[in-house]
Structure 1
């Protein structure tokens, strides 16, 4: 009975499915069964990475799923499973946002406190997570950072959503993680804002009182013209 329950859980868990699909596709490769070393060479990672992925003992590099889809011609299967894995790493109250975010054609963000998650650098995100969960291990922090950065793939796809960002001036003045972290984060914001199709605005501290002074907001529009107003970075 226990074995049956475990099997059902593994079948539903996208992490286990990713591992099983990778192992199955490798062993049933049309021309001949591939070794882990051969597959690693084809997707440009180490053999140990493939081994860890297939045994669910390590993180999945964000650029691995599309490479597996390319090699095995699986029409986005590994990419979809990876997106499910990323979603499950977030608390349940944020999963709706991730689902809508992945299918949005337009995103408008307002943040009075921190850089929105879709524009955070790894070091900036880590500093925020460290402050919020001071007892977290380095491995736990690394997993949180990977999950947050994985969300940013939506901006790097072939048809990224229109993304408009407004932050309070306090966001660019607040010292998150130290001068070096802020220097890199501000450089990333400048690079984003310099792209012609992007909109990045800073609301000065001298601006008048407004209704969203103490809360962030996100407005996401999907291709079905449905508009979702959500909270969170």
Structure 2
């Protein structure tokens, strides 16, 4: 496994903890695999902690302090690294997403967060929490919009999304919101910022009919798969599971319309939404 790159400790609490973990591990004369064995995790998991792609949990922090002789350093500081503006079940995935070099995602029921507009995100958040105060919905929406700024960088990450046709036809927030959302996606496509394919209804049965999927790749750490369901989510780094999800995504992309035909379909739907809303 290639060694992790040097991190800027001032960039984030997790980067600081990762750099300190690497320093303490090397000082103890342990490889990532050897330290992982002491904690009953894989060496790649230790690498992800050092690279900042995984959040250090309190239980692991205590074990690291014990194994590495760092008193209570990691346990004390992992609380600061755990602070997030995102819900607990998604926080770690959002942080990994922010440093990924490539993201591949299949969306079965709604437009992925990175491709959403503010109005669409607000409609989704309100549907999730119909009785929440308006301040909570605004906070959730702003957090989601902060994630979309990843796409302001013209060089990365690479985002390749396969959208089920259902995501484009479900009127989320009304027809005007849908028209704006689909025009936003076509703009990103035409600026060569994202790759988007549509999986049409007539593709029939496919490999991910029961769920969406998300794969994230990193420069100096193994890839991660993310699974999400109502108010829950988990990251998975098991190579066999990640490989299975990669194959599932590739099969979905093979069954989907080409990027050119997908763009034409999205543009046509955007025009229909806009025209009917105007009428």
What TM-score do you get using the length of structure 1 for normalisation?
0.60
Give RMSD over aligned pairs.
2.2
State the 1:157 CA deviation: 2.8
Q: Show CA shifts across 1:68-102 (max 9, x none).
A: xxxxxxxxxxxxxxxx9996222222112112111
Secondary structure, in 3 states, of the residue corresponding to 1:229? strand
Match of 1:109 in 2: 105
Distance 2:82 2:142 in 1: 9
Distance 2:145 2:81 in 1: 13
State the 1:158 CA deviation: 5.8
Match of 1:188 in 2: 184
Distance 1:87 1:226 in 2: 24
Q: 1:198 aligns with which of 185, 194, 201?
A: 194
1:226 partnered with 2:222: yes
Which structure 1 segments of 5+ residues have no match? 1-13, 15-83
State the 1:232 CA deviation: 4.1
What TM-score do you get using the length of structure 2 for normalisation?
0.51
Q: 1:156 aligns with which of 152, 157, 160?
A: 152
CA contact (8 A) 1:167 1:202 kept: yes
Distance 2:201 2:131 in 1: 34
When the two structures are aligned, how many residues end up with a matched partner? Answer: 151
Q: Show CA shifts across 1:162-187 (max 9, x none).
A: 11010001111110011111111111
Secondary structure, in 3 states, of the residue corresponding to 2:101? strand
State the 1:139 CA deviation: 1.1
Which structure 2 segments of 5+ residues have no match? 1-12, 14-79, 230-279
